[in-house]
Structure 1
Amino acid sequence: MSSGLSSIDKSTKHYATQSKSASYGLYMIPGENEFQLLFSRYYQSWGSNAPSEDDIVLKVSVNPMTIDGREWLSYDFIERGSKSLTAALQWDTVSVPFKIAYDVNKIVVDNARAELKGLAGFGQGYNQAASYCLRNDYNLEEAMTWIDQSIGAGKSFQNLSVKSGLLAKQGKKEASDEVMEEALTMANGNQLNQYGYQLLGAGDAKGAIEIFSMNIKKNPDHPFIWGFTDSLGEAYLADGNKKMALKYYKEAKTKAPEGQYAYLDGVIAGIEAM
């Protein structure tokens, strides 16, 4: 079985034993009430030859489950998640499931380090790697080094906003605000709108109102001006100001394509009914 195992667990029991990414031979030994799973360092061995204790890198016990009858033996992934998945041997009325968990952040950052030594280090790679670390609150010290390398190759809204976020994580609010102020001067309409929603998502409705208002003034002829205006209405509504929210939702309708009228009419009616 080829696997990048970091841990295996069954129901509420977690196995702390870890195994490096590699290829393993998988053996399942049935018992009266549970199956013993053996992961061997030799994945090319013939199935009838059980591994010796020296060959085994991981050993766990799991409880089988009863399923509808299956004529053919199969190995399936019966549950998939962002940080783990559950594999299972299934045959006849027996299923032998085991969970494989993986450290996504470590995998992504390790891959980023390797890729930044190649072509990725000449484009947006440093910014993308630092941005990932910021979003996931992981490897922040190295992320600051990466974003400084990105900025050194040329300032942009993207890399300056990431640096602002990393400075905020360090508790350096004044420095963070200063860098963000510079970033905003380079932002296009879509970037300003996205940043406003970041503030709104963080509970800063007044900050979002400021950014959305700036965007409308800065980009009055943008093809998506109706959407920017809609965003300002949403921010006012989140701030509890229904009067201003109605004003900007109605203004958004005057700028919107006909396909958006039903949506905006629904929002306006909902506010008026509050």
Structure 2
Amino acid sequence: MKQFNSIKLLVCICLFVGVHTNAQINTPNASPKAKVSQRIGISDVTIKYSRPSVNDRPVWGNLVPYGMNNLGFGTSTAAPWRAGADENTTITFSHDAKVEGKEIKAGTYGLHIEVKPNDKATLILSHDANAWGSFFYDQSKDALRAEITTTTVPHHELLTFEFNEVTSNSAIATLAWEKKGFPLNVSFDVTPIVLNDWRAKAKGQAGFQRQNWEQAANFALNNGGNLTEALGWIDSAIAGQFFSQKTFNNLQIKAQILDKLGKTNEATAVMDEALPLATIFQVHQYGRTLITKGQLDKALEVFSMNAEKNKDTWPVHYGLARAYSAKGEYKVALKHLRKALVNAPNEASKGRVQANIDKLEKNEDIN
């Protein structure tokens, strides 16, 4: 019986110790965790990090030593700075990207920086994204190295990653701490990414909607995509599929693709087919496009057709005024603008018409 009681006591002690050892309360980190993300095109860059404070400490060359160092823990004897605090700072690319002009595959990487005692630094992205800081840094696992130039920034008490100078295909991700900034240029080859995404989606539910084929063709047209492929996409939107429907919009996209392929006569024929399907404003805008391209006789023909079909309505006289002004016939243009002034739909429109009347009276083109 005594032995049995001893066994029960031992089991209770083990259970107590196990529960006590595993129990943890959730407390704030000294260096709070943070995450920042930026969309570029249809791709995302996400940086996760911890934010140490300056706290009146000398940072560069002291708290953050220069060069590669033996940190006295872990397996690395030549470690860079962890670019933050605590666990690895990580950077994730949703698609293949370029960092400082160097290619990097989609995925998550450990982000490290070798800080140097001048305005230079080495950015290091590591395949090992799950280590604690840089204590286990292994150069053989480097995915990318790039030399960067640091900048002077306003004082940042907390280490901060921020995205600046965002464009349609790139952004600058800057680590800013104390008064030093570490800018990293991240870019994506947006057009292939968008079109590859569409090619995949076209096999699914998105491929059953005409507008998606139109949008894909138009994007390829305006962003350096394969024009022959884009022509096939817009043809699918126009005819031959259960979702197809001939509209002014998709015929105009087709004409623009044909024009860019150098098939001018075919493009003109498609637009002639499209015009009867157009609204008064779509015809007006097409006429203005022709003026921009220097096709003044064709522009006058289009504006005249619009005026015949939509007698004395807004904005047919405005269109005719633009066409005659482009041809230098200012008196005829002025006559049409005065008619446009009468049927302008609101004060803002009347103001624009009057401003153009003033220009024509000075013998100035209104286009």
TM-score by length of 1: 0.87
Q: Which amino acid aligns with 1:105?
A: T
Q: Deviations over 1:160-214 (max 9, x none)?
A: 2222222222222222222222122222222212222322333333332222222
Q: 2:215 aligns with which of 94, 117, 128?
A: 128
For the 8 Å contact 1:75–1:90, the answer to whether it is kept is: yes
When residues 78 and 258 of structure 1 are mapped into structure 2, their CA distance, relative to the original with a 3 A threshold, is: closer
Aligned residue runs from structure 1 range 135-174, under 5 A: 135-152=222-239, 153-174=244-265
Aligned residue runs from structure 1 range 1-274, under 5 A: 1-3=91-93, 4=95, 6-9=97-100, 15=101, 17-33=102-118, 34-49=120-135, 51-123=137-209, 124-152=211-239, 153-220=244-311, 225-259=313-347, 260-274=349-363
Q: Deviations over 1:215-267 (max 9, x none)?
A: 2222237xxx3234323323332333322321221111111134133332222
Gaps of 5+ in 2: 1-90
Bigger Cα Rg: 2
When residues 214 and 80 of structure 1 are mapped into structure 2, their CA distance, relative to the original with a 3 A threshold, is: same
Q: Deviations over 1:118-151 (max 9, x none)?
A: 2221121112111111122421121122112112
Q: Which amino acid aligns with 2:115?
A: P
Q: How much does 1:112 deviate?
A: 1.6
Whole-Å separation in 1 of the counterparts to 2:108 and 2:292: 42
For the 8 Å contact 2:221–2:257, the answer to whether it is kept is: yes
When residues 110 and 93 of structure 1 are mapped into structure 2, their CA distance, relative to the original with a 3 A threshold, is: same
Aligned residues: 265
Secondary structure in structure 2 of the residue aligned to 1:155: coil
Q: Deviations over 1:53-85 (max 9, x none)?
A: 332221101010112222111001121111211
For the 8 Å contact 1:77–1:85, the answer to whether it is kept is: yes
When residues 36 and 193 of structure 1 are mapped into structure 2, their CA distance, relative to the original with a 3 A threshold, is: same
When residues 52 and 238 of structure 1 are mapped into structure 2, their CA distance, relative to the original with a 3 A threshold, is: farther
Q: How much does 1:18 deviate?
A: 1.0
For the 8 Å contact 2:344–2:350, the answer to whether it is kept is: yes
Whole-Å separation in 2 of the counterparts to 1:5 and 1:86: 17
For the 8 Å contact 2:252–2:271, the answer to whether it is kept is: yes
For the 8 Å contact 1:196–1:212, the answer to whether it is kept is: yes
Whole-Å separation in 2 of the counterparts to 1:78 and 1:166: 35
Secondary structure in structure 2 of the residue aligned to 1:24: strand
Whole-Å separation in 2 of the counterparts to 1:48 and 1:245: 73
TM-score by length of 2: 0.67
Q: Which amino acid aligns with 2:173?
A: A
Q: Which amino acid aligns with 2:174?
A: A
When residues 177 and 54 of structure 1 are mapped into structure 2, their CA distance, relative to the original with a 3 A threshold, is: same
When residues 125 and 61 of structure 1 are mapped into structure 2, their CA distance, relative to the original with a 3 A threshold, is: same
Q: How much does 1:90 deviate?
A: 0.3
Structure with bigger helix share is 1
Percent identical residues: 35
Secondary structure in structure 1 of the residue aligned to 2:128: coil
Provide the alpha-carbon RMSD of the alignment: 2.1
